[in-house]
Structure formats: C-alpha cells, structure tokens
Amino acid sequence: MVRSYNDAVKQESRAKLKGFVKKNLLSHMSPRDVRVVCFPGAEVDGEEALEVKEVYDSLGIPRENVMGIEYDAKNHERLKNAGLGIRFTDRPMDAYDFFKTTSEKFDVISLDYTGQRTWKERDIARYIAGKGLLGNGGIYCTNHSANREGVKMKKGLLSVMREKEALESMKDMMPLAEDNFLETVVGEGSRILDKYDEMSSSIKEKTFDLNLLRDQIARDNVEIFRGGVLEVSPHENIFARSQIFSEIVECYRKDLGKELSKRKFGVLGEDYGVYKMAFRDFLSMAESEFVRSGVVKKDVALKALHFLNLDFNKGYAVRNIERYSYTSNKNTNMLLDIMEVKRLPDMLAQNVNKIISLSPDGQGMKYNPCFLSPKAFRGVVSRVKRVPSSWIDVNIPAPIYLGSSWVPPKRKKKISKEKAVELMRDGISPRALAEEYSGFTKGQLAAFKAHITMGTY
C-alpha cells in the first residue's frame, strides 16, 4: 500500500516550516520576491505537491517562484501533469546534480529527504554553501530519516562532535599565555582524542546513543555554511592568493598526501582536507597575533576572528535553529532541521579587516590598529562587540517531538489450509485471501489453487 504525505504529523511538520518562513523571512521580504526550491512530492494521484499548497501558497509566494525537484520518473511525470504552475527540471533529476550544476539563487531551500543522511546529502549542503546558492537571510530546511546511517557517516558526525569540544576547550585556553601553554594545549588535545577513540569503538559495539550523533547533523550544517567557498572552491578564499597559504597547503600535501588520499573528503577529494587544515592554521596565526597584541580582550578577539573567517570564505552565519522529530506514517523516525543563514554585513567585514588583515607582503597576519586613530580603533572594536553573540555561539536545541502518524496494520486472522482450499473452491482468489488472512503467502495459495484446478486436491 502506498502511503501518501497527507497525514496529521507531516502536516504539522509543514506547518513548522511555514511558521519559520513567516517569522524569519517574510519579516523582511515580500512573499512575491521569495524564491523556493523543494521536493514537492507526488506519491499519490491528486495529492501532488502538498508542501507547495500548504506552505508556499498559504504564505502568498507565487507558484512561478517555486522550483520542484524530483528524481523518480513516475513522480516527476505525475507532478508535470498536475498543472501546478511551478517550475521543474526538464527530466527527473537528483538534487545532487541540480545543486552541483545550478547557479540560481533561492531564499528557501527545503530538502524533504526520505532517507537518512549520507555523504550525498552532506555534499549537497556543501554545494549550496560553497556556491552561495542561498540568499542573505535565506532558510535551509532538511528532513532526514533517523535510522541506519552508514559507519562512515556515523564517524563523520562523531568528528563534528569532537571538533566542537576541541574548539570549546581551546576557547578557554586561548588567553592563557602561560609558560606551559603549549603543553596544556597538547595535553588537552590528546585527552579529547582518546575520549573520542573510545566513543568510536562504542559505535562499532553498538552501545552508543545514536541520537547524540544525529544532533550533529544540524551542527555539521552550521559548519558547512560557515565554511563558504572552502567547501567547494577553496582556492577562491582570499588567503589562497597569498604565498604563505600556498606554502602551508604544499606542506600538508607533502606530509599527509598518502594518508589524505586514503580518506575521502566528498566533492573535493583530498583538496578539501588540505585547505581546511591550512585555513585552520591561518586562523590560529590570526589568533596568536591577537593574543600577542594584547590590545583587545578575549571576547572581541574571538568575535573578530569568527567574522574574519566568514568574510574571507564568503561563509554564512547560522541563526535561529529549530529542530523537530516525528514518526512518519511509514513508522520511520524523522528529523526536521530548519535554520536561517546570514551573510556578514559589509560594514562589519570592512571593520574587522581594519583590526587584523593579511600583511602587505602576503607573509602572514598583521594586527593592524596602526592604520586607525585610537578613536577610530575604539569605534571598530565597539561595533564588533555589539554584534549579538548568537552570530557565533549557535544554539542547537534538542528536537521537539511532534507525534506519530503510524497506524499499525490490523493483525490478520490465521487461516487453515482446509479453510483456504474451501474458500478458493468458492471462487476467492489467492491474492484476496492473502490480503485478508495470515498463514500462507500469495505464492503458496496460488499453488493450492493450481492443485484445485488440476483436480489433485
């Protein structure tokens, strides 16, 4: 039996998306200008594109602004014939190929996946963030099923968790320019590595709470959107033009080449790993320059660093995350993550670049207040300070459970062979019997029927 998406809990999930778009996007944009791309869905005739009808129509977003993607040929055909007035790709297309090849910009990207997160769904997010396909203030929404993730994905999500913990503890240590600073950092680093090695074994032994990992899907998306061009075209980040950056990249390639080629980094292959590591080094150079200068306090230094990262990589800050979970009518646990992504205001980017920038010889970072009068410098610092900390410390809430639409099928009555043969002699087909009773498969019943027909029963 085909189950459609016309059920109470799915409707509730669409209502959450609608509420989010209304609150966060339509507060500053007219519905007429909003451009949407989504999976409209069309499992049953007459129930096509429920997301378009329940979310975008009711918000006043014109149908012609909506792009529908569908990879299943039958659904694609059904959608095209339904006279919806939305746009489609000419032929059935996987979202992966769509986002890889398009340069069109959208304000809402809603990817209502039927399956779990794999490297493909992750790379789709990377294309969107890396190619800047979401407009400023745009909304990114995903539904994933929360089951049976592959081992590689689980490990990937575990490393997102590890990076977060490492970053948090570095944050606490950064201003401590003590004698044993390096030892403390290295010690803390190996403590975290050991802890996560142990956790990784517990994944293999299946004693790990996988919901902890699934919470990292939202964090992974936050990091991907922050990464900006680093995600798909790292050579476009501003530092890639400097000599020192190329040197770091080459060092990593030489030292880690073999190890890196063994790993897979998704769309970019090993370049992804190399550039991410080189960029991290670059940021720690900026960080030490801040600490060395001693002029700005820790909170300003960290904020400025974060904004530098966003600016150099044309990344997005993620805000206002809402997360929900529900049980679908197919009895699958689903996770709904909705988030708003913002570009760094130009004014802020320019200001941050005044505090610290690439040195004129391209050799490193230079803390740079000498270009500003003390008064102007204080002005820049106070502007950086005023940006709400939610731009940096993204709150990733636990999902709110919306309920279940799963109705277990009625238990069928068991039938004896004698009774089945009797009913088939009365003209009831094997298929009708199999639907009504348990005990025999359709094939077994068909075999009995053949005996009846041949007179061997």
Ligand X SMILES: C[S@@+](CC[C@H](N)C(=O)[O-])C[C@H]1O[C@@H](n2cnc3c(N)ncnc32)[C@H](O)[C@@H]1O
Binding residues for ligand X, rule: CB under 6 A, are 5, 14, 39, 41, 50-51, 69-72, 75, 94-95, 112-114
Least distance in angstroms from the C-beta of 77 to ligand X: 12
> Identity (one letter) of the amino acid at 82?
A
By beta-carbon proximity to ligand X, the closer residue of 92 and 364 is 92
Task: Find the residue with minimal CB distance to ligand X.
Answer: 41
By beta-carbon proximity to ligand X, the closer residue of 220 and 311 is 220
Q: What are the angstrom distances between the C-alpha of 140 and each of 25, 41, 126, 247, 362?
A: 11, 18, 12, 36, 36
CA 362 to chain centre: 35
Least distance in angstroms from the C-beta of 228 to ligand X: 23
Q: How far apart are CA 18 and CA 58, in angstroms?
A: 8
By beta-carbon proximity to ligand X, the closer residue of 51 and 289 is 51
By beta-carbon proximity to ligand X, the closer residue of 72 and 287 is 72
By beta-carbon proximity to ligand X, the closer residue of 86 and 423 is 86
As given in the structure block, the two tokens for residue 81 are 């014939």
Least distance in angstroms from the C-beta of 29 to ligand X: 22
Q: How far apart are CA 232 and CA 100, in angstroms?
A: 10
Q: Which of 357, 387, 177 shows the shortest CA–CA distance to 285?
A: 357
Least distance in angstroms from the C-beta of 117 to ligand X: 12
Q: Return the beta strands (E) in 352-447 as ranges.
A: 356-358, 365-367, 400-404, 413-414, 437-438
The alpha carbon torsion through 84, 90, 94, 95 (nearest 10 deg) reads: -60
By beta-carbon proximity to ligand X, the closer residue of 138 and 315 is 138
Instruction: Spell out the residues 6+ positions from residue 313 whose beta carbon is closer than 8 angstroms to its own.
Output: 226, 227, 228, 229, 230, 237, 279
- Name the CA radius of gyration of the chain, rounded: 28
Q: Which of 232, 50, 218 shows the shortest CA–CA distance to 144?
A: 218
Specify whether the CB–CB gap between 66 and 38 falls below 8 A: yes
Q: Which of 156, 99, 107 shows the shortest CA–CA distance to 123?
A: 99
Least distance in angstroms from the C-beta of 42 to ligand X: 6
By beta-carbon proximity to ligand X, the closer residue of 113 and 196 is 113
Least distance in angstroms from the C-beta of 94 to ligand X: 4
Least distance in angstroms from the C-beta of 52 to ligand X: 8
Residue with the two structure tokens 């530098």:
308
By beta-carbon proximity to ligand X, the closer residue of 104 and 299 is 104
The alpha carbon torsion through 149, 150, 151, 153 (nearest 10 deg) reads: -70
Instruction: Spell out the residues 6+ positions from residue 295 whose beta carbon is closer than 8 angstroms to its own.
Output: 367, 369
By beta-carbon proximity to ligand X, the closer residue of 32 and 91 is 91
By beta-carbon proximity to ligand X, the closer residue of 317 and 334 is 334
Least distance in angstroms from the C-beta of 66 to ligand X: 12
270-293 and 243-262 helices cross at what angle (nearest 10)? Answer: 130
Least distance in angstroms from the C-beta of 113 to ligand X: 5
As given in the structure block, the two tokens for residue 194 are 């050991």
Least distance in angstroms from the C-beta of 211 to ligand X: 21
